[in-house]
Amino acid sequence: MSKDDLVLLDFWVSPFSLRVKIALEEKGLSYVAREEDIFGGKSDLLLKSNPIYEKVPVLLHNGKPIVESANIVYYIDETWASPRLLPACAYGRSRARFWADFIDKKVFDAGSSIWKSKGEELESAKKEFIDVLKKLEGAMGGKDYFGGDEFGFVDIVLIGLVAWFDAYEKCGGFKIEEECPKIGSWIKKCKKRESVAKILPNPQQVCEFVGMLRKGHGIE
């Protein structure tokens, strides 16, 4: 079995799977994406590979499972050195890990609260989501990317979540580009990258998927 025998247990619209695929593309690695039926019945391989959380993504490297998406991206960067995704200095890496953790704890949950809500709860959810994005704008400062002038680890952690942003806008009746222009500009810049453009799903399909979730939750 070769060093680069890689299988990704995947779900097409999972923002966490998307970030792993973008990291793999950035490294120029060949991999097989194995789609999981996360609603109808998870595979024995997924349950065996991630028995604690029983969820995607899982990266199998020579049969050995690596779980949790940010951890997987970190593993990819450690295992395949070029191009570097994390900063070279210890301080830069610690800062990157901090903001990646912030994104994981705040962005998806805040966005999910938008499509799960209506009325006053929806307005509160929108406010929280926009506040989170504004904090990320502050973290970016005057640079093009979170790591500075180069697309890197924090950008990858966030850009997978961007796949759902159109759905949040549609559900909430707002535009991220108007509320957070720096994030809007960053999104446009990232989407021009081959690795991102190749991986992010069609926004309309994501909106349809979120619409299905809303109906399942009795919101629509």
pLDDT in tens, 95-134: 999 999 999 999 999 999 999 999 999 999 999 999 999 9
Q: What 3-state class would DSSP assign to 7?
A: strand
8 Å CB contact between 57 and 6: no
Helix (H) or strand (E) segment spanning residue 65: strand 64-67
Q: pLDDT confidence of 139, banded at 50, 70, 90?
A: very high
Last residue of a domain, one of 79, 104, 125: 79
84 domain-assigned = no
What is the per-residue pLDDT across 54-88, written as a single tens digit (0 to 9) for each?
999 999 999 999 999 999 999 999 999 999 999 99
172 and 112 inside one domain: yes
Look at residue 138 and tell me if it is in a domain.
yes
% pLDDT > 70, the chain: 98
| Residues 153 and 173 placed together within one structural domain of the fold | yes
For the segment 149-170, what is each residue's pLDDT rounded down to a tens digit? 999 999 999 999 999 999 999 9
Give the Cα separation of 151 and 193 in Å (integer): 9
- pLDDT beyond 80 at 18: yes
- pLDDT at 3 (0 to 100): 62
Regarding whether 75 and 158 lie in a shared domain, the answer is: no
Please report the pLDDT score of residue 201 as a whole number. Answer: 97
Helix H or strand E segment including 33: strand 32-35
pTM of the model: 0.95
